[in-house]
Amino acid sequence: MKEIKRFQIRGVAGEVKRLDFDGRIVDSWLPKGPVTHLLIAHDGQNVFDGRTSTHRGQTWKMAQSAIRVSRELGLTPPAIIGVWHSSTKENPWGRGKDLVPQKYFQEGIPVHKDFENAFQPELLHSDSYLTSIFEEYVPAIVPGISAAHTAMIGSSMGGLATLYAVAQFSEKFATALALSTHWPFGANALVERTIAELPDPTKHKIWMSHGTKGLDSEYAPFQHYADKLMHERGYLPHNFVSKVYERSGHNERSWAKYLDQPMRFWLNY
């Protein structure tokens, strides 16, 4: 692990540290005082720093949201780790290789026809990506946080990765926050496999949400099916929420606008 830089963000005390783990960049912010909760975020480029975000200037404003909600609930804000995806000009499919559920597609779920020409399941490495998060990045940055107080969050492909992670690493964290989950990538077969693999609802909480504009406008039928299967699995309103945000789109600004709600769902227990 090598520290690259430190920087501040408006409205947030302390500094964000940018770290390099053998070529994988990870941003992290820790609150002052004892750390009791941890939020792990995919697409770390978009979490804190508007200069590195996909849409310049737009971030999740995740630390600001965490501070606001924690203050309401009388808690110390959670530590936040933002893991960068690996897409570059030389590796344009890096993000997909990181985030697409590896086992599901390597074991036969067909990818949507719009992606099949560019998709190579054998190149997926989400299992090693997630293993590195839990065995390298988290222990190095903020060790000792209980699984019960740890959550993961992601949007689009990151939503898929979050739901995959809670199935594959259910002992590592208890709350999965999946925004604008990109179900169309594998359609109903992906919905079915994802929900079937989720852990025991008595020990885990799941949040799902999507908007109605842009790419999010395609998600409703798949999410309705996911909701049905979640209820059949035994997930109830106290441990499963599915929300639709009218006029909300597929971008960091839209997710930031309602981030307080999944944050509160996680921290208010």
Residues 5-20, buried b or exposed e (16+ Cβ, 10 A)? eeeebeebeeebbbbe
Domain count, the chain: 1
Burial status of residue 4 (CB atoms within 10 A of its CB: 0-12, 13-18, 19 or more): exposed
> Can you give the pLDDT at residue 10?
92
DSSP 8-state class, residue 135: I
DSSP 8-state class, residue 253: H
Beta strands in 145-257 (DSSP E): 150-155, 175-179, 205-211, 240-245
Residues 227-252, buried b or exposed e (16+ Cβ, 10 A)? bebbeeeebeeebbbbbebeebbbbb
> Can you give the pLDDT at residue 248?
97
CB-based contact 1:44 (threshold 8 Å): no
Q: Is the pTM of this model over 0.85?
A: yes
138, containing H or E segment: helix 138-141
CB-based contact 154:99 (threshold 8 Å): yes
Question: Which conformational region is residue 126 in: left (phi greater than 0), alpha (psi within -120 to 50 degrees), or beta?
Answer: alpha
150-155 β-sheet, strand order: 2-7, 16-21, 24-29, 79-83, 38-41, 150-155, 175-179, 205-211, 240-245
Q: Which domain holds residue 211?
A: 2-267
> Going residue by residue through the chain (269 aa), what tens digit of pLDDT does each one get?
999 999 999 999 999 999 999 999 999 999 998 999 999 999 999 999 999 998 888 999 999 999 999 999 999 999 999 999 999 999 989 999 999 999 999 999 998 877 777 688 999 999 999 999 999 999 999 999 999 999 999 999 999 999 999 999 999 999 999 999 999 999 999 999 999 999 999 999 999 999 999 999 999 999 999 999 999 999 999 999 999 999 999 999 999 999 999 999 999 97
**CA angle, residues 37, 210, 189, in degrees to nearest 5:** 100
> Can you give the pLDDT at residue 112?
81
Identify the CATH number of the domain in which residue 214 sits: 3.40.50.1820
**Cα–Cα dist 168/16, whole Å:** 29
pLDDT tens-place string over residues 200-230? 999 999 999 999 999 999 999 999 999 999 9
The radius of gyration computed from the CA coordinates of the chain, to the nearest angstrom, equals: 17
> Can you give the pLDDT at residue 57?
86
> Can you give the pLDDT at residue 33?
87
Distances 172 to 59, 144, 211 between C-alpha atoms, Å: 26, 11, 29
Give the up-direction half-sphere exposure of residue 103: CA atoms within 13 A in the CB hemisphere.
12
Handedness of CA 138, 142, 148, 152 (dihedral sign): negative
**Cα–Cα dist 268/58, whole Å:** 27
